[in-house]
Chains A and B, each alone.
Chain A
Amino acid sequence: MITFQTVANPDAFEVPIVEWGALSPLLIMALAPILLVTVSSVVPSFKKASLPTVYTAGAALLSAAVTATLWSDNRLLMDGALTIDRFTLVGWLIIAVGVAAIAMLLDNYIVKQGYFEQIIEWNVLLMISAAGGMIVVAAQDLIVLFVGIEVLSIATYVLVGLHLRKPIAQEAAFKYFILGAVSSGVFAYGIALVYGATGSTYLSEIATSGRNSLGLNPVVDSSLMLVGIALMLGGFAFKVGAAPFHSWTPDVYQGAPTPITAYMASAVKVAAALGFARVMHDAFGEFSVDWQPLVSVLAVLSLVAGSFIGLAQKNLKRILAYSSINHVGFILIAIYALDEGVEALLFYSASYAFTVIGSFGILMMMTQTEPVLAESDDEKMVMIGANKIRNLESADGMTLDDLAGASKRHPLLAGLFAVLLFSQAGVPFTVGFWAKLQAILAAVSVEAYLLAGFAILAAVVAAVLYLRIVVAMYLKSDDSEPARTNYSKLSLIAVVACVLLTVGLGIYPEPLSDLVTNAGS
């Protein structure tokens, strides 16, 4: 471990010890993009082919591997700004593995859209954003948390709008940016009020200056504290996309390039949810009687909004967006259950992350591909030009009707998709079943029977959401010519890995349960 020696000046500022080893997963995720952007700037040929993708996936997996080596660590880092514990490590693992899968999907997306220009930027921003997410998960201090959230969000705003040829992506990015900026403002205001009430931004110190030990003026201080909690709750609710702060989700998910949608729905959402849980749990645990009802209301609203409004949608990405709102409802239930729900939260987050990545990945792979350019034949080029415009416009606008007969056209993809959808619906022998079961059991164990009942009902309604897609694929026929789709091996590997995890952990959930046990301490 390298530490700086301070000079013998009495005023010299005390250098915090930097635990390079324990920080290395985060450092890898943060420095790999810097290296990538430098190298590709100096060596233009690095942009060729799938090299950046392999680099990104490799870096992310390295980060995941290093995370795994830290498994039994449990300590504070960087003068208490970050913490390494099972909770953090599971979060890091989800984010890092998710980034690797998304990079593999992104590669395919770029090929399909014929859009090589931004390949470096896409990968770089993805990793920077993920590094922000890792900070959010580990943050033990509100300022650090805020910095993490901003790094996570700002990079994501750009990612959403990076497909410069798609107006809908630009619109989505702009909406996301404005709303995200407002929510960050709200969140920062919340931090300021909490600091005002307690005089600290450390989660542990906020917790110790709890309800009964606030400063000189209890009424003023606790009102500051409560409004601060409310504002932070609002900020977090926006970031995880809980109703009624969800309204950006469908628009942005639809507009964003599909792999980025997968990223937002998985890693970003998981990072925000874990940060949410940590703050609520570690800092405001003593105020749980005050905020728990609010979280349960948010959970119920999310369950209702996600499943019901989702039923009225036609566009597949919007359907999946509402489904993700529904999932947030379950995650909030786990957060509601405090200590009892920590394992359920991690289990749900992990299983949800790879299920949703696989789902969006397949959606992208199924989307009609562009015809290969024929270089010599002038006449073909004209036709291709017309086709291309049509494709670009419809590329992210697949509707339920477009899926008709998909089981014939892409039997493999349709089958994999069906498995993932069943998992999202919580059908037994998929991991989604265990995830939902654990969340509901967590609610039951804190005697929130009403909440558990709501969750079960919402799961039933949401099941219709997924079955509609399966029905469209398998029971509706379509006589049109089989459309060409070419998808790369890399993306297929990513998706198949997701499906294998879904089914494997569905039959034998023990490894994942093992992973998340004892994370509550």
Chain B
Amino acid sequence: MEQYLPIFALLVLAVLFAAISFIASRLLSPSLSTVEKSAPYECGIIPNQEPSERFPVKFYLVAMLFVIFDIEIIFLYPWAVEYMNLGAAGYFAILLFSALVFESFIYLISKGALDWGPLQLNRNQSAIAGKPNAFSTATAGVRIVGTEGRFEHAKEVA
């Protein structure tokens, strides 16, 4: 069990840190609450409607992509610590691992996962133009609905 002691200690420390932070801020901070202070920050302008609670799915995608690279760091860190002992074999292994992770980055870019806003719209438009099909897109994988019968649109797209 001895080997798990540091982990246990870390756990305790983490819990303590969080708890102490909360308690300290509650105890130490002056409590001067105003309406402006409790409102969400929006560039200093007073909001005239409730902020939207749904975020575009894009954010989650980026968050997930971040996790991938986060994991890469998690693997790199112990390697860096044991670098000397692992020697050349460890070096090549981690190089291969990094290459594979980087490879996924290339794929993401080519898929347009990091494109944002008008850029992505453009992409989809050009993809449609490339494929004479009014009812599906080439890359997005989502069928455009509601265009049936709208010849003008179909022609335009084609």
- A positions within 8 Å CB-CB of B: 4-7, 9, 11-13, 15, 34, 37-38, 40-42, 44, 114-118, 164-165, 373, 375, 378, 381-382, 385-386, 388
Q: Which A residue sits closest to B86, measured CB to CB?
A: A13
Give A47's nearest chain B residue, CB to CB.
Answer: B138
- Nearest 9 pairs of A and B residues by beta carbon: A41-B110, A4-B89, A164-B141, A15-B89, A7-B87, A41-B106, A378-B151, A385-B148, A41-B107
Given the known interface contacts A41-B107, A42-B106, the answer about A375 and B132 at a Cβ–Cβ threshold of 8 Å is yes
Bound-state CA distance A6–B84 (Å) is 11
Residues of A within 8 A of B85 (CB): 9, 11-13
Q: List 25 A-B contacts (CB under 8 A).
A: A4-B88, A4-B89, A4-B92, A6-B87, A6-B89, A9-B87, A12-B86, A13-B85, A13-B87, A15-B89, A34-B103, A38-B106, A41-B109, A41-B111, A42-B110, A116-B131, A116-B138, A118-B141, A164-B141, A164-B142, A375-B158, A381-B154, A382-B148, A385-B148, A386-B148
Residues of B within 8 A of A41 (CB): 106-107, 109-111
Structural contact, B87 and A12, CB atoms closer than 8 A: yes
How extensive is the interface on chain B, given as a class?
35 or more
Q: Is the CB of A15 within 8 A of B87?
A: yes
Chain A contact surface mostly: loop
Interface, chain B (partner A; CB < 8 A): 82, 84-90, 92, 100, 103, 106-107, 109-111, 131-143, 148-149, 151, 154-155, 158
Are A34 and B100 within 8 A (Cβ)?
A: yes
Assembly CA distance A388 to B149 (angstroms): 14
**Contact check: which of B90, B103, B137, B140 meets A37 at CB < 8 Å?**
B103
Q: Are B107 and A373 in contact (CB under 8 A)?
A: no
**A381 interface neighbour in B107, B134, B137, B139, Cβ under 8 Å:** B134
With a CB–CB cut-off of 8 A, which chain A residues contact B148? 382, 385-386
CA distance A11 to B86 in the complex (A): 9
Contacts of B134 in A (CB 8 A): 381, 385
Could you tell me the distance between the alpha carbons of A40 and B135 in the complex, rounded to whole angstroms? 25
Interface pair A117/B141, CB less than 8 Å apart: yes
Chain B residue at minimum C-beta to C-beta distance from A386:
B148
CA distance A37 to B84 in the complex (A): 34
Q: A9-B84, A42-B106, A385-B148 are in contact. List 19 more A-B contacts (CB 8 A).
A: A4-B87, A4-B88, A4-B89, A9-B87, A12-B87, A34-B100, A34-B103, A38-B103, A38-B106, A41-B110, A116-B131, A116-B138, A164-B141, A375-B132, A381-B134, A381-B151, A382-B149, A385-B134, A386-B148
**Contact at A388–B106, with CB atoms within 8 Å?**
no
Closest chain B CB from A31 CB (angstroms):
10
CA A504 to CA B138, docked complex, whole Å: 43
- Closest B-chain residue to A3, C-beta based? B89
| A192 to B131 CA separation, bound complex (whole angstroms) | 53
Contacts of B106 in A (CB 8 A): 38, 41-42
Contact A117 B88 (CB under 8 A): no
Closest residue on chain A to residue B105 by CB atoms: A41
- What residue of chain A has the Cβ atom nearest to residue B110's Cβ? A41
Contact among B84, B139, B149, B151 with A117 in the assembled complex (CB-CB below 8 Å): B139
Chain A residues within an 8 Å CB radius of B89: 4, 6, 13, 15
Closest A residue, CB atoms, query B145: A389
- Contact (Cβ within 8 A) B141 A165: yes
> Does A378 contact B154, Cβ atoms closer than 8 Å?
yes
Instruction: Choose from A13, A44, A114 the contact partner of B133 (Cβ within 8 Å).
Output: A114
CB distance from A387 to the nearest CB of B (A): 11
- In the assembly, what is the distance between CA of A97 and CA of B148, in Å? 43
Q: Please measure, in the bound complex, the distance between the C-alpha atom of A115 and the C-alpha atom of B87, giving whole angstroms.
A: 48
In the assembled complex, which residues on chain A have CB atoms less than 8 Å from the CB atom of B143?
A: 165
